[in-house]
Structure formats: structure tokens, C-alpha cells
């Protein structure tokens, strides 16, 4: 039986949701699929040579792949012409997101890997501002219909490259300052004791072990990726995420919302880009309805 692996890092779960859609479609087509959840331990790191299909998936951070994906690329063994695909998610469909894989792909290329396909899915923000549940449900609906189509394209070996951006490599390099800045910012996190219920979920679920709780006291180290898993999922919204606290989003979205359309507070934001994304998604979905 053919097999596949997707090395996935997911902060608050959006990217993992996309990967599970791929896994379902792959296995529907007879390809046994492993989702390897990337953490800083890199425990039992699978060898890509053991898989016919190899993918990398992540949420876009400051128009780059998270630092943990760069580290992953460096840890993988050298290969000879191993083809791979990339899945990524973000909260806005700006073209500048196309630059996010540059660093990771450069490392993989030097190790003998060959990229043939890259897909970008729009999912609700876990930072910057909160999308309405109406918008979040629309994003998820589009992803649910697009992902199986594009998963079949991956299985067919179809090339799907994202358009470049002028001075893209320079812009990506410049914005990777986020990797260092978030390590500093993460040390300044604070927890509102009056709101904290002591569940410990933040420490338990941190992918890099940046949060330590001892005798009821929180200590934040210098490994934060700013994935927002701790603050987004805090059941009492007890986190203060330092310099980025004004962009903090807390609590899960209702991705199945089908009530009255909710009026967004940021209707102007990337309005044309969202409209174009949904129009292109609808066109591709309609073109593949009989497949």
C-alpha cells in the first residue's frame, strides 16, 4: 500500500484541520497517511525516505514558516530527489504570504528535496483580531471543499507553485526577525492570577515547553514561537501576551455557524483579497464537482 507523511506544526489547530482533510482524502484513495506533530523534542522523527508522499504543513507567522519548521528541515536526512508538497494556513489571503516557505525550501533543496506543490488555505485568525463566526464558517467551508480536490492533485503529482513576490527573499529574511523577537516577547508573558483556574493546559500543550508552572507560579522561558496556543485556548482568558496583547484572540470559533450573518468590525480589511480568494475557491470547486 502507498503511504504518505505530513510533518505538521499547528498552533491553535487550523493547520491540523487542513491536514486531516488531506489524510481523509489520501486514505480514501488507498494511501495510508501519518500526521507527525512537530514539537521541539522531535521525538521519533520519521525518515521521509520511508514514505512515497511527503508533506510539510504550518501556520504562517509574520509571512514566514515558524522557526520550528526551519529546525525540522535542518534535522531531516539528506535524500536524492525526494519530492514534497507544502500546506499552509493564515488569516488573510495576501500574496505576500507566498514568500513564507522560502527559508525552509532553501534548506530542503540543499538536502536533495524537490518541491512540486504548495497550497495556502485561509482560516480564522488566532492573532490580530477576531473574525466573525460567519467569516470563520465560510473559510472552513471553502477549505473543506478545496482540500480534497487539491489532495487528489498532490497524489497525481500535479505541480502547483505559488507566484513569487518582488524582493520576496529579502522581505522574508527581514521579517524573520519575528523568530528572535518572539523569544524575547514570550519571556514577558503574564497570567492574571484572579482569572487563572490552575488547569495547567497552557503548560501541558505548549509545543516547545516554554511554560513551566511550579507551586502555582508561572515561569516563561525563551523558546516561545508565538503560536498563541496558550492564550487562545485559555478557558478564562487569563493571559497577557506582552507586546502583542492588543492583538490577542481568545476562544474557539464556531466553524459550523449557520445563523444570521454577523456584521464584521473589520469589513474593510483585505476586502478585495478575501473576495478574490472565495471567488477562486468557488470556481475551482465548481469545476471539480463531478470528480
- pLDDT per residue as tens digits for the range 52-83: 999 999 999 999 999 999 999 999 999 999 99
d(CA 221, CA 9) in angstroms, rounded, equals: 20
Asked if residues 147 and 77 have their Cβ atoms less than 8 Å apart, the reply is: no
Q: What is the CATH number of domain 2-172+276-287?
A: 3.40.50.360
Q: What is the pLDDT of residue 64?
A: 96
Are the C-beta atoms of residues 242 and 189 closer than 8 Å to each other? yes
Q: What's the pLDDT band for 43 if we cut at 50, 70, 90?
A: confident
Rounded CA Rg of the chain:
19
CATH assignment of 181-247, given 3.30.450.20, 3.40.50.150, 3.90.25.10, 3.30.70.20? 3.30.70.20
Output b/e per residue, 70-81; b: 16+ Cβ within 10 A: bebbeebeebee
Percent pLDDT > 90 in the chain is 97
Question: Does 283 score more than 90 pLDDT?
Answer: yes
Q: What is the tens place of the pLDDT at every residue in 76-135?
A: 999 999 999 999 999 999 999 999 999 999 999 999 999 999 999 999 999 999 999 999
Give the torsion through C-alpha atoms of 94, 282, 27, 157, to 10 deg. Answer: -70
The Cα-based distances of 183 to 66, 107, 165, 243, 246 in angstroms read: 12, 22, 28, 12, 18
DSSP state of 101: T
Q: Tell me the backbone φ, ψ of residue 140, rounded to 5 degrees.
A: -70, -40
Domains of the chain: which residue ranges? Answer: 2-172+276-287, 181-247
Closest of 216, 249, 256 to residue 126, by C-alpha:
249
Expressed in percent and rounded to 5, the helix, strand and coil fractions of the chain are 40, 20, 40
Amino acid at each position: 500500500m502507498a503511504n504518505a507523511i505530513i510533518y505538521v506544526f499547528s498552533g491553535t489547530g487550523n493547520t491540523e484541520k487542513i491536514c486531516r482533510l488531506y489524510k481523509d482524502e489520501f486514505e480514501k484513495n488507498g494511501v495510508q497517511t501519518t500526521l507527525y506533530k512537530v514539537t521541539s523534542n522531535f521525538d521519533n522523527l520519521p525518515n521521509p525516505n520511508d514514505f512515497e508522499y511527503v508533506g510539510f504543513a504550518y501556520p504562517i507567522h509574520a509571512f514566514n514558516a515558524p522557526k520550528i519548521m526551519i529546525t525540522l528541515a535542518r534535522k531531516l536526512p539528506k535524500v536524492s530527489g525526494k519530492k514534497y508538497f507544502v500546506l499552509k494556513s493564515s488569516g488573510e489571503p495576501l500574496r505576500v504570504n507566498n514568500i513564507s516557505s522560502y527559508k525552509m525550501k532553501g534548506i530542503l533543496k540543499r538536502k536533495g528535496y524537490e518541491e512540486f506543490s504548495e497550497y495556502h488555505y485561509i482560516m480564522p485568525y488566532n492573532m490580530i483580531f477576531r473574525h466573525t463566526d460567519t467569516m470563520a464558517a465560510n473559510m472552513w467551508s471553502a477549505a473543506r471543499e478545496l482540500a480534497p480536490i487539491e489532495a487528489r492533485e498532490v497524489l497525481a503529482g500535479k505541480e502547483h507553485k505559488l507566484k513569487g513576490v518582488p524582493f520576496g527573499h529579502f522581505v522574508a529574511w527581514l521579517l524573520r526577525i519575528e523568530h528572535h523577537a518572539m523569544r524575547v516577547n514570550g519571556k514577558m508573558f503574564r497570567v492574571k492570577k484572579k482569572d487563572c483556574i490552575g488547569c495547567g493546559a497552557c503548560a501541558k500543550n505548549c509545543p516547545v515547553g516554554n511554560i513551566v508552572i511550579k507551586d502555582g507560579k508561572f515561569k516563561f522561558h525563551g523558546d516561545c514561537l508565538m503560536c498563541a496556543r496558550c492564550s487562545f485556548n485559555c478557558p478564562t482568558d487569563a493571559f497577557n501576551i506582552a507586546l502583542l496583547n492588543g492583538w490577542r484572540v481568545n476562544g474557539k470559533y464556531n466553524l459550523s455557524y449557520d445563523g444570521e450573518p454577523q456584521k464584521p468590525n473589520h469589513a474593510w480589511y483585505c476586502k478585495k483579497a478575501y473576495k478574490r480568494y472565495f471567488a477562486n475557491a468557488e470556481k475551482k470547486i465548481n469545476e471539480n464537482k463531478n470528480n
